[in-house]
């Protein structure tokens, strides 16, 4: 699955960013690189968990213009969305803690290959996503934060 490999490559990028230490650039973001990484990993971990435990019969397809635009373009505008509380880092993690979190998330993402294609995730703005679209969303979201990190590191 191409999207899965892309997501694993993004996790490798996050790993390389962790090794560079926590960087800040207030002109780009109020949050530093470790916050961006932690948030990205929390989203990947949480969404993977929901997918694993989902009941495909709960799926109720709905139209969302926001979903159509973001999933079609692969672009999330900066500063427009608000992360659910459970994915907002409360404390700044150390390099070691982030590396451990990344290892756990990599394993969960790899395990998505074993899931039934009818597993689902209900996104707070997009509504229901099937497994394939959820993996695509995870990649789009991670890419959004990788771009922010790259701008901080410039």
pLDDT at 54 over 90: yes
3-state secondary structure of 120: strand
Q: Would the pTM of this model clear 0.85, i.e. be above it?
A: yes
Across 48-57, 82-91, 127-136, least confident range: 82-91
pLDDT at residue 21 in the model: 97
Asked if 80 and 144 count as a contact pair (C-beta separation under 8 A), the reply is: no
Strands in 4-153 per DSSP E: 120-123, 127-130
> CA 126, CA 73: separation in Å to the nearest integer?
14
DSSP string, 9-56: HHHHHHHHHHHT-----TTT-SS-HHHHHHHHHHHHHHHHHHHHH--G
pLDDT tens, residue by residue, 76-127: 999 877 888 888 898 889 999 999 999 999 999 999 999 999 999 999 999 9
């Amino acid at each position: 699955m191409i999207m899965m490999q892309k997501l694993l490559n993004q996790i490798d990028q996050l790993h390389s960013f962790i090794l560079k230490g926590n960087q800040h650039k207030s002109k780009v973001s109020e949050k530093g690189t470790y916050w961006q990484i932690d948030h990205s990993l929390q989203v990947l971990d949480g969404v993977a968990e929901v997918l694993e435990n989902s009941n495909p019969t709960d799926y109720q397809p709905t139209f969302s213009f926001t979903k159509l635009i973001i999933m079609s373009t692969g672009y999330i505008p900066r500063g427009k969305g608000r992360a659910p509380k459970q994915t907002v880092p409360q404390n700044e993690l150390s390099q070691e803690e982030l590396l451990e979190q990344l290892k756990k998330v990599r394993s969960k993402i790899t395990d998505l290959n074993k899931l039934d294609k009818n597993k689902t995730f209900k996104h707070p703005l997009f509504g229901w996503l099937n497994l394939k679209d959820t993996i695509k969303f995870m990649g789009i979201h991670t890419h959004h934060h990788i771009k922010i990190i790259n701008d901080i590191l410039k």
